[in-house]
Amino acid sequence: MGIRFFEEQKYFKLDAKDTSYIIAVVDDEKYLGHVYFGKKIADEPLDVSSLLRINEPPYVPSKNNRDRMSFHDSFPTEYSTHGLGDFRESCLVIKDSNGHSVCGITYCSHKIYKGKPSLKGLPATFGDENSCTTLEITCHDKVLDLEVTLVYTVFENLDAITRSVKVKNNSGKDIKLLKVLSVCVDFDGIDYDVISLHGSWARERKIQRLPVGFGKRSIDSIRGVSSHQANPFIALLDRSANEDYGNVYGFNFVYSGSFTAVVEGGQFDTTRVVMGIHPANFEWTLAPGEEFIAPEVVMVYSDAGIGKMTRTFHDLYRNHLIRGKFRDRKRPVLINNWEATYFDFDTEKLLSIAREAAKSGIEMLVMDDGWFGKRNNDNCSLGDWYVNEEKIKGGLKHLVDEVNKLGLEFGIWFEPEMISPDSDLYRAHPDWCIHVPNRTPVLSRNQYVLDLTNDKALEYVYSRLKDILSGANITYVKWDMNRQLSDLGSSSLPKEKQGEILHRYVLAVYKLLDRLTTEFPHILLEGCSGGGGRFDPGMLYYSPQIWCSDNTDAIERLIIQQGTAMVYPLSAIGAHISDCPNHIVGRNTPFETRGFVALAGTFGYELDITRISEEDRKMIPGQIELYHKYNDLIRTGDYYRIANFTDNHQYDCWSVVSKDKEEVLVTFIQVLQRPNYHSRRIKLKGLDDKALYRDTGTNQVYSGSALMHAGLNITGVHGDFKGKLIHFVKEK
Ligand code: GLA
């Protein structure tokens, strides 16, 4: 059993694979204190009072009531509330029917059970009775008659613990929730760094590492989506920790909307981490008897550096988050027409691409933006999900059938959450966009956001998706979302619920995705948001892969994909080979290198195969052969970062090692050639140090220990942007 309650000292001990997390109930009033999070420790003896420092001033209120406020302001609480003197970051802020905002919770009861409950209407990790144990601690604020249940699940074979929170109004009056975060952890000490993932369109998820100091560092999005700018992930780590060494605590929010993550260095050299739905534009009315569920946060602990944290996230997400028939499968090699044609295509153009693609071993054609309404540019027609038969001559079914006849599957692009002002849908329902009355909403890419909190709009868009997907043999959908939310107002919500729109919007997106994946389970869904603007675990629950960035340049992708792979498995990272000069940065890179980088993701093509050079086209069958040869390993193996060119300014290197350590694929990319220099030496990781490994390219045999500790010289890579794959198998 991964969770136990120790009666005498009244503490809960949550044990994941090599991790312990301890919570205690203290003093007569039954405060819930956070005792420990880190490497697994013995059950007993454990001096809970001293770890919580309640045997030193200011003591607990039963011993020193005159300094009750100091107790609240220094106690390592399990879930912080606002208004009673804990002046650090709060998780729960309310407003009662009298306009007051004071709230304090204490322990009432708990239950421990095998398995993991799902969260109604929300994505979450899942696990069965053999892999998980759950603890629910119910607390209450007696004065408000508010019940707060803290839910924890331990994955017993992984170093992962999840948390979510349920808030229930048992009183007879409305209570407003102004902030309900999902996690609070008080760490002892302030000597930590914080890793977060930052960026913008076309340069998503760059890794940033900064020290924690006094005061607050906030990583957040108030954009209505998890965003390009910040990912809902942070890691707190020992200042001395590195890739392979030290304590690392990762937090990832399973949510696709606005979020906050705050790391606060406090006056007594403690560090508080909180994470959850951003309180900006959030005001949720909880009527008597109603419950609010705060989405899940995944907490991963590593005692061996950042790399181990990454691998735990990958294992957890591959086995306990991503679902559907494609989760454990090689995905079809696709060719997408976006960078090939943009809006300028018709049936014949698409068929010409499909014909050429079929010859090279490509397995699917994806028709991107521009097939519906009058969409010949990005100024119109979102919402008018009817095939434009002037372009798709003969209709969609004809096109799909013809593509199928060539032996290719067919995929299609949608942007269901949007509405163009220049669309029949908007002309018929101008109130179906998110807007505030009497104020013209702000345009972004000349489009508005469809108000999915309005059931009629939601039903309309779902019926259009269903109609299109049922009318032809479509086996892939790219679900795009190309702007962030402003002008927050819904004509379908009453005045007192306008503050609920952002969260209701996210819930509505999940509802749509849930319906789609339930009714069309054979469809491979790829999430997208102006590239990687919504690459989060919430979306991964519905779509096993997400387009990582509109920036397809292989060198830029080294940074973007490395940042993304900090948390998310390679199997989920949408990566394609595109044409050069690259459309975003104008850079020329060898076709071969573009292939090596795309292999570290879902793999596919994003170019006009009828127009690229004969030399490049001839390389495609070989690249696809590499994909088929290595994808099982890349999709399922352990990922190791070996060198990072943003640090060394010259080369990048990563490897994937199969779970049984029988096979290893190393990818080395020389970004910049250095003159008058010897070969580079890299040290492999994660091998069996007692085994021998054979380089399948040269047949040379090395010991695992030599490859890891003495290293391997990389030779024969000459010039900028050149790369090399090195494949080892264990000698029998
Ligand atoms: C977004 C996507 C692209 C493409 C375009 C189409 O930018 O990220 O891949 O689908 O939209 O408009």
Helices (H), 441-520: 455-470, 501-519
Ligand 1 contacts CB of residue 201 (under 6 A):
no
The DSSP letter of residue 495 is: G
Please, how many CA atoms are within 13 Å of residue 588, restricted to the half-sphere of its CB?
A: 2
Ligand 1 contacts CB of residue 482 (under 6 A):
yes
Return phi, psi of residue 641, to 5°.
Answer: -85, 125
For 133-140, what is the mean pLDDT?
98
Nearest CA to ligand 1 atom 12: 369
Ligand 1 contacts CB of residue 368 (under 6 A):
yes
CA of 664 to the centre of ligand 1 (A): 34
Beta bridge partners of 253: 297
Pick left, alpha or beta for residue 281 (phi over 0 → left; psi -120 to 50 → alpha; otherwise beta): left
Instruction: Please tell me the predicted confidence (pLDDT) of residue 111.
Output: 98
CA of 584 to the centre of ligand 1 (A): 13
Place of tokens 């080294």: 558
Which atom of ligand 1 is the closest one to the Cα of 529? 8
Relative orientation angle of helices 614-636 and 591-599, to the nearest 10 degrees: 20
Smallest CA-to-CA distance from 512 within 547, 461, 475 is with 461
Position 390 confidence tier, pLDDT thresholds 50, 70, 90: very high
- The Cα-based distances of 237 to 152, 194, 249, 267, 716 in angstroms read 22, 6, 6, 19, 38
The whole-chain average pLDDT of the chain stands at 98
Ligand 1 contacts CB of residue 526 (under 6 A):
no
What sign does the dihedral 696-697-702-705 (CA atoms) show? negative
Nearest CA to ligand 1 atom 7: 530
With contact defined as beta carbons under 8 Å apart, do 418 and 457 qualify? no
CA of 480 to the centre of ligand 1 (A): 7
Beta bridge partners of 15: 20
Three-class SS state of 658: coil
With contact defined as beta carbons under 8 Å apart, do 249 and 236 qualify? yes
Q: Is the pLDDT of residue 184 over 90?
A: yes
CA of 530 to the centre of ligand 1 (A): 6
Q: Residue 64: in which H helix or E strand, if any?
A: none
The amino acid present at 658, given as its one-letter code, is S
Which residues, in sequence order, are CB contacts of 216 under 8 Å at separation 6+? 89, 262, 263, 264, 265
Three-state secondary structure readout of 203-236: EEEEEEEEECCEEEEEEEECCCCCCCCEEEEEEE
Q: Which residues are catalytic?
A: 480, 550
Q: How far apart are CA 405 and CA 427, in angstroms?
A: 39
Q: How far apart are CA 129 and CA 107, in angstroms?
A: 26
The amino acid present at 199, given as its one-letter code, is G
The angle formed by the CA atoms of residues 444, 346 and 337, to the nearest 5 degrees, is 60
**Residue 714 C-alpha from the chain's centroid:** 34
Position 158 confidence tier, pLDDT thresholds 50, 70, 90: very high
The whole-model pTM stands at: 0.98
Tokens for 516, please give them.
Answer: 């789609």
Q: Is the pLDDT of residue 175 over 90?
A: yes
Ligand 1 contacts CB of residue 153 (under 6 A):
no
Place of tokens 């090699």: 333
The DSSP letter of residue 678 is: -
Ligand 1 contacts CB of residue 528 (under 6 A):
yes
The DSSP letter of residue 77 is: B
Q: Which long-range contacts (CB under 8 A, 24 or more apart) does 422-428 make?
A: 422/379, 422/380, 422/381, 422/446, 423/373, 423/380, 423/381, 423/382, 423/383, 423/384, 424/373, 424/383, 424/384, 425/383, 425/384, 425/460, 426/383
Q: How far apart are CA 207 and CA 600, in angstroms?
A: 18
Which atom of ligand 1 is the closest one to the Cα of 528? 8
Which atom of ligand 1 is the closest one to the Cα of 378? 12
CA of 387 to the centre of ligand 1 (A): 18
CA of 260 to the centre of ligand 1 (A): 27
Establish whether the linkage from the previous residue to 117 is cis, with ω within 30° of 0.
no
Position 189 confidence tier, pLDDT thresholds 50, 70, 90: very high
Nearest CA to ligand 1 atom 11: 530
Nearest CA to ligand 1 atom 6: 369
CA of 268 to the centre of ligand 1 (A): 49
Which atom of ligand 1 is the closest one to the Cα of 478? 10
Ligand 1 contacts CB of residue 447 (under 6 A):
no
Instruction: Please tell me the predicted confidence (pLDDT) of residue 1.
Output: 72
Nearest CA to ligand 1 atom 2: 530
CA of 325 to the centre of ligand 1 (A): 25
Ligand 1 contacts CB of residue 383 (under 6 A):
no
Establish whether the linkage from the previous residue to 581 is cis, with ω within 30° of 0.
yes
With contact defined as beta carbons under 8 Å apart, do 174 and 184 qualify? no
Smallest CA-to-CA distance from 564 within 315, 260, 199, 193 is with 199
For the segment 219-249, what is each residue's pLDDT rounded down to a tens digit?
999 999 999 999 999 999 999 999 999 999 9
For the segment 311-353, what is each residue's pLDDT rounded down to a tens digit?
999 999 999 999 999 999 999 999 999 999 999 999 999 999 9
Ligand 1 contacts CB of residue 315 (under 6 A):
no
Instruction: Order the strands of the 3-6 sheet from edge to edge.
Output: 3-6, 11-15, 19-26, 31-39
Ligand 1 contacts CB of residue 530 (under 6 A):
yes
Look at strands 651-657 and 11-15 and give their pairing.
unpaired
For the segment 73-130, what is each residue's pLDDT rounded down to a tens digit?
999 999 999 999 999 999 999 999 999 999 999 999 999 999 999 999 999 999 999 9
Three-class SS state of 558: helix
Instruction: Please tell me the predicted confidence (pLDDT) of residue 698.
Output: 97
Q: Is the pLDDT of residue 155 over 90?
A: yes
Per-position DSSP letters for 397-444, written without gaps between them = HHHHHHHHHTT-EEEEEE-TTEE-SSSHHHHH-GGGBS--TTSPPPPB
The amino acid present at 708, given as its one-letter code, is M
Tokens for 4, please give them.
Answer: 């136990």
150 by Cβ neighbours in 10 Å (0-12 / 13-18 / 19+) ranks as buried
With contact defined as beta carbons under 8 Å apart, do 547 and 534 qualify? no
Ligand 1 contacts CB of residue 338 (under 6 A):
yes
Beta bridge partners of 334: 364, 604
Smallest CA-to-CA distance from 559 within 666, 482, 641, 681 is with 641
Q: How far apart are CA 541 and CA 521, in angstroms?
A: 13
Count Cβ atoms below 10 Å from residue 679 Cβ, excluding itself. 11
Which atom of ligand 1 is the closest one to the Cα of 368? 10
For the segment 257-303, what is each residue's pLDDT rounded down to a tens digit?
999 999 999 999 999 999 999 999 999 999 999 999 999 999 999 99
Instruction: Please tell me the predicted confidence (pLDDT) of residue 454.
Output: 98
